[in-house]
Structure 1
Amino acid sequence: MVNKPLARARLVTQGVATPIDVGVDAGTPEHAQAIAARFGATQGQDFPGAISSLAYRMGTAGAVNAVDAVNAVREAFNTGLIVRGYPMRGTVFVTAAKDLAWITQLCGVQNLKSMERNRPNLGLDNSHVDQAAEIVHETAGARGATRAELFKAFEAAGIPMGPGNGYHLVRSMLHAGTVVYGPIAEESTRVENHVMLAKDWLPAGTDLEGTFNGDQHAAITELLRRYLDSHGPATLRDFAWWSKLPLGKIRKAFADIASNYVSWHAVTGAPGSTAPGEELWVREDALELIAEHEKDANKPSLLAAFDEIILGYQDRMYIVPEDHHAALVPGNNGVFRQAVYASGEVVGFWKRQGAASKRKLVIEEFKPLSTTRAKQVQTRFKAYPFASA
């Protein structure tokens, strides 16, 4: 069931309704890095959408020009400040480069086991992964390599390359922390990253041992803090679903930082969690910001596919009307549509037609937008930080 007060609060803490102060100069690559670090990890399956989501959070309310924001995000990738990887949930995420290794080691063990179990179904075994890793070391170098270049090299070396095998091999190395998705492959016809060797591209000493002296409890506490600060109000079970970390360990970690958070329902009287007995936690010092920008959080927003506002929580129906939830993922095929948000809920889906100066907004409305609302949505479309022409 839609929970409009909760949706508005999350739009504020996520930096969609109003810019969040992350302590760096706005519109710079360091700004993009700081936002990525604040979240810990943000959805990155659709790379153009991931760029737009970060850029949007840099440029909300005209704080940064959309083109400048996109360029800053692209430069952050190209200079190694942010990367993409598979740190958890078998899903691509964007992280600050200094965070990918320790989050992957903390949350990604089950992903490696799952990949290994599926390998025989593809006609692959562990020796093929080892062979592919050797090829990446020989092929990537300082420039890196596109996936297509690696797939060609794998095939030339005699590795079985049936449907999905190349992707499986690269993904296995991403889960293992051998490689990362780094700078943008400008020569490619699609928006994609070069595959880079992690030892060359990630900052030294940023693994679990180097960052937390191997202390998993400290790492869980830090990742939980970032999640609640950037996603709150949220439940501990939301974080458990998001990270796939054990709830028991999460509760122990929360005990160390609980004094910084308050129950959203108890303090505001707003509707609570849809899960019985689960408190929605929010930073106490975020309450003033949420109240100050409640009106801003009612204004329309065009969300990228896979945006954290939609995918950052176990229950998406806090913001997506139940009658339209199935249409968010047509055919339940894992591909999420771009949502139009207004007044505390998703009110439709959107896409663009045409390129660059000929872009046209196409909306599938749940119910007709008012003339005023339709004009506001068009204004947002014109200022949207598109990652590609």
Structure 2
Amino acid sequence: MNSKYDIIIIGGGAAGFFSAINIADKNPDFKIAILERGKEVLSKVKVSGGGRCNVTHACFIPNDLAKFYPRGEKELRGPFHQFCSGDTIEWFDKRGVELKIEEDGRMFPISDSSQTIIDCFLNEVKKQKIDVLTNQSVKSLFKSDEFWKIETNSDVFACQKIVIATGSSTKIWDFLSELGHSIVSPVPSLFTFNIKDERINNLMGVSANATVKVKGTNLKASGPLLITHWGMSGPAILRLSAWGARELFGLNYQFTIQVNWLKDFNFEEALEELNSIKLENAKKQVDKFCPFDFPKRLWESLLTASSVQLTTKWADLSKKQLTTLSEQLTNGQFQVNGKSTFKEEFVTAGGVDLKEVNFKTMESKILPNLYFAGEVLNIDAITGGFNFQNAWTTSYIVSQNI
């Protein structure tokens, strides 16, 4: 059987649906199909943000928004001027989905359920008479002068134009590479660090505002750091994993991090602070008076690591102990052995080489009438709704230019 369409979108995820709906909005006469290899569509949307769907981030200045993308920052500046987070809010609002902003800037549907987003998409495709075809695993992609031919496990399709929105599907990357595209090999992004260390052994759940550096590199990030039963997580670590995705892969996830628990204080400033506390609180026990703004359990652990008995009085701390404590506070070294994937936010750095895509139209520079949307490209972001925003923006640009 041979099914003919004007436009076929490969990939039934966020970018695939957003492309299809916006293309149909602009061109109501087009015959459009979405091909999904699984039996469910939008499955990643369902689990994202712990089942709440972190739709976008409340960052409304295009050039600022682009800074959250370790890969794609330069390329997304133009597209974000066409369709930014504010446009996303308006798009959903027009379709009856209201979003809310949380304290950290992440945006969710007010229902707190990803099903709201899924229902919105499913209603739209039904209304626009877009064919959603599941269990369609692509077996080959063929380009003739006139049209594209797509062969799946159960059918053969022909279309004028094709949109690839398959996320990090290695199979589709292989097809694209056979057709002449360069693929930047995928490596994990957004992961937590596995660390076994006495100092954090019994501190699971403790969080502090810290600055973390990867020793011997230029990688550095600040923010909340969370101690877990396997090591360290939280925004500071996830940020580091995103910006350092390639470099840390190259180190085989074996490296040393330097943690400054005081975030902005350096060694000398910390030592000076400790010395003045020693004078002012001479009679107090060190464990009873933590001079810094972080959890008491962490303070006790760092005292122990500095060979200070918890019942010692401030007056009795030696110069050596104060120096060691200052070092532990501002430059604690921890050995990382491996990584753990961060919840369900599976994000990959890698994909279609950005130099081969026209970011004004999202069309391939190598294959006419072939367009890209979402994570199939070598674009990824830190956690917080940014990966979805990349999907909405690139899909929207496809729809305006197809």
Instruction: Give 1 or 2 for the bigger CA radius of gyration.
Output: 2
Greater share of residues in strand: 2
Greater share of residues in helix: 1
When normalised by structure 1's length, the TM-score is 0.21
